[in-house]
Structure 1
Amino acid sequence: MTTPESGFGAELEPFAGITSFMRLPVTRDLTGVDVAVVGVPYDGGTSYRSGARLGPRRIREASVMLWGYNNALAVKPLDVLKVVDYGDVNVIPPSITESMANIEARADAVLAAGATVLALGGDHSISLPLMRAHARKFGPLGVVHFDAHPDTWHREFDEQPYSHGTSFRRAIEEKIIDPSRYVQMGLRGPTPEAMDWQWARERGVRAITMDDVVELGLPAVVRTMREALRGPIYVSLDIDAADPAFAPGTGTPEVGGFTSREMLQLVRGLRGVELVGCDVVEVSPPYDHGDITSILAANLAFELLSLMAVRRRGGLEGNGEPRGFSMRAG
């Protein structure tokens, strides 16, 4: 465990220490490591506002306010897990295919060492190579995908197969994802065609729109989300699932999304699932105001880390709901 005297760790004052994620040591030595925080500073797959390549750095800077103890989940993850900041993947800005190959190779290396990947993006194109690596180890993945958009379009740029809007279509086509264990959470906004949300649904994907959230209420949404979650689960969290009032610093903002509080509750609702890997993507600091998007992203990454710690500790109680949140409520 780190101490303030070590110069590292969440126990330091926010103004002190080196701004790795939670002021953790930066190392490629994964001996005995449980979780590796991996930066993926790539945004060549964006279709509107770029800038997500700066996301990992700013999320790390915002993480200085993560003091270490998660009151809602009653866990101090750094006391349960050995976590390091693995640094960044070497990406090639002009080449999405070369960048994806590098991302996949780094994820393979982390997984081969027995550590779990917590990736900080970068745009949503980075999720495809990350999921490829995870599926190689765990088999077809169940996925919880927080996003305003389905990211199951066939093409965004002429005949180019890869962008931040095609990752999950490619993953289904490559049989990386088990559609019956895949949940899209937070869909909303206009689309080019009426059928743009249908492709995934026709293959068994469970899509929960923001209209569904309003009609059902958050507790019922969490229950619905969990119904599909069995086996190894990968969580991909696009920050634009949050309303731009709470996360303006993103590439493709859509009005009518989740509040920050709702995002925290939804992630905490995953307590007890077999979380084998995750990413937080689409934070674009040039469009952020007062770092509120980066602060939210850092906190959501902390919640994901806390879920891993709760499961490792064996602290699942009852139906797995966090303190102060009842999934039985109407």
Structure 2
Amino acid sequence: MNDRITPPAEAPRGPVDSSRVPRYAGPATFARLPRVDEVARTEVAVVGVPFDTGVSYRPGARFGGNAIREASRLLRPYNPAQDASPFALAQVADAGDIAVNPFDIDEAVETVQHEAGRLLDSGARLMTLGGDHTIALPLLRAVAERHGPVALLHFDAHLDTWDTYFGAAYTHGTPFRRAVEEGILDTSALSHVGTRGPLYGKQDLTDDAKMGFGIVTAADVMRRGTDEITDQLRQRIGDRPLYVSVDIDVLDPAHAPGTGTPEAGGLTSRELLEILRGLADCHLVSADLVEVAPAYDHAEITAVAASHTAYELTTLMTRRIAAERDAG
């Protein structure tokens, strides 16, 4: 297990001071935070995985991580929605990118699992910037090696529990079926959020339910509201170790045009952020944010939404770290 929190040797180093260095100047680390090699200890590592070989439609998510980093230049150190200064609560640092083979999916999956495990072994929780959704499987493997089977909240327009595409077992549409088969998910605490759109057949829903997933559709969020949905999710999760996986196409194309498989009728960015904020005090151990494809992004709408999504998830993690430290 990797939950022991020791007091930091020194106060966390935060972002570059934007009153001294303009936001558009300097390296584009996430939120203008230090790199991992510039701090003694990293408690939340923001790491990119520039990989999109597993996509079934539009490519380009290999460039998503750096687009999110560029958009994150506008983030500020105090988060009023969560009443927290996340970068003062724990040391957050940018771990750069995991370089993976773009021509061999199996090798790429192994590399992501190994490198994610190395970061987790250092004591960090991961905020991973994809890349396509294929990377969720090796990330979950690495997290489960340290926490056991984890609860999962999966924000996505799609189920991503299909079996194969063109005979390939590892794609952006299959990671959570593989994860259930491998026993690395707590099947009593699995939920999709924001699903919508046509399926291949009703059997897709039947198979998904057999794996243990509950479904909160985008229409459910619209009709019932974010507070009720969040309460439902929290009850399902409890205090189990939680992994959150966000495909940016959970948002409506009006809010996230820069993605590979857009579907009409999605969440607003406000709804997504409000649901995430409602997960405060949950045992969030790591998260990913995937499928940002900047080639299709108009005026960086998608990258901005993604940067704020990563910011809220990072805030949740640092708040949890601080609470565990205070509890001894």
TM-score of the superposition, structure 1-length normalised? 0.90
- Report the equivalent of 1:258: 267
**Residue pairs, 1:230-245, within 5 angstroms:** 230=238, 231-245=240-254
Equivalent residues in 2 for 1:130-149, closer than 5 Å: 130-149=139-158
Q: For 1:67 and 1:37, locate their aligned partners in 2 and report how far apart those are by CA, in whole Å.
A: 16
The answer to whether structure 1 residue 98 and structure 2 residue 107 are counterparts is yes
State the shift of 1:196 in Å. 1.2
Are positions 1:226 and 2:223 aligned together? no
Structure 2 match to 1:208: 216
Where 1:314 maps in the other structure, the secondary structure is: helix
Aligned-pair Cα RMSD in Å? 1.7
SS at structure 2 position matched to 1:43? coil
Sequence identity of aligned pairs in percent? 45
Provide the C-alpha distance between the structure 1 equivalents of 2:206 and 2:18, rounded to a whole number of angstroms.
Answer: 44
Paired residues in the alignment total 311
Q: 1:120 aligns with which of 124, 129, 136?
A: 129
The residue correspondences of 1:1-330 to structure 2 (distance < 5 A) are 1-2=12-13, 8=16, 12-28=21-37, 31-157=40-166, 159-230=167-238, 231-314=240-323
Give the structure 2 partner of residue 328 of structure 1: none
Change (3 A) 1:190 1:116: same
Residues 97 and 3 from structure 1, CA distance in 2 versus in 1: closer, same or farther, beyond 3 angstroms? closer
CA offset at residue 198 of structure 1? Answer: 2.3
Partners in 1 of 2:180 and 2:63 — Cα distance?
Answer: 29
> Separation in 1 of the partners of 2:36 and 2:186?
34
Displacement of 1:28 after TM fit? 4.8
Deviations along 1:92-116, one digit per CA (max 9) or x if unpaired, are: 1111111111111111101111111
Q: Tell me, which stretches of 5 or more residues in structure 2 are unaligned?
A: 1-11
> 2:23 touches 2:74 (CA, 8 Å); kept in 1?
yes
Aligned-partner Cα distance in 1 for 2:75–2:45: 17
Q: Which amino acid aligns with 2:182?
A: E
Larger deviation: 197-206 or 249-258?
A: 197-206
Give, as a single letter, the amino acid of the residue that structure 1 aligns with 2:265: G
Q: Deviations over 1:245-265 (max 9, x none)?
A: 000000000110000111110
Tell me if structure 2 keeps the 8 A contact 1:9–1:22.
no
Change (3 A) 1:185 1:207: same
1:63, CA displacement in angstroms? 0.5
Structure 2 counterpart SS, 1:228: helix
1:76-99 Cα deviation digits (max 9, x unpaired)? 111111111101001111111111
Distance 1:228 1:15, change over 3 A: same
Q: CA 1:3/1:238 → structure 2, altered by over 3 Å: closer, same or farther?
A: closer
- The 8 Å contact of residues 30 and 113 in structure 1, kept in 2 or not, is answered as no
Deviations 1:161-199 (A, max 9, x none): 110000000000001111211111011000111221221
Unaligned runs of 5+ in 1: 316-330
| Alpha-carbon distance in 2 for matches of 1:202, 1:298 | 34
Cα pair 1:235 1:277 within 8 Å, conserved: yes
Question: Deviation at 1:10?
Answer: 6.5
C-alpha distance in structure 2 between counterparts of 1:191 and 1:258, whole Å: 18
Deviation at 1:47, TM superposition (A): 0.3
The verdict on how the C-alpha distance between 1:31 and 1:109 changes in structure 2, with shifts beyond 3 A counting, is farther
Give the deviation of 1:225 after TM superposition: 1.1
Whole-angstrom distance in 2 between the partners of 1:3 and 1:175: 38
Question: What amino acid is the match of 2:133?
Answer: H
Q: What is the SS of the residue equivalent to 1:262? A: helix
TM-score of the superposed pair, with normalisation by structure 2: 0.91
SS at match of 1:211: helix
Query: Which residue identity lines up with residue 201 of structure 1 in the other structure?
Result: A
The answer to whether the Cα contact below 8 Å between 1:116 and 1:277 also exists between their aligned partners in 2 is yes
Amino acid at match of 2:72: S
State the SS of the aligned residue for 2:28.
Answer: coil
* 1:186-243 deviation line (CA, Å, top 9, x unaligned): 1100011122122121232111112322332222111111111131000000000000
Once the two structures are overlaid, the 10-residue window that deviates more, 61-70 or 304-313, is: 304-313
Distance in 2 of aligned mates of 1:125 and 1:291: 24
User: Does the 8 A contact of 1:184 with 1:207 survive in 2?
Assistant: yes
Counterpart contact for 2:245–2:289, Cα < 8 Å:
yes
Residues 199, 24 of structure 1: alpha-carbon distance in 2 compared, 3 angstrom cutoff: same
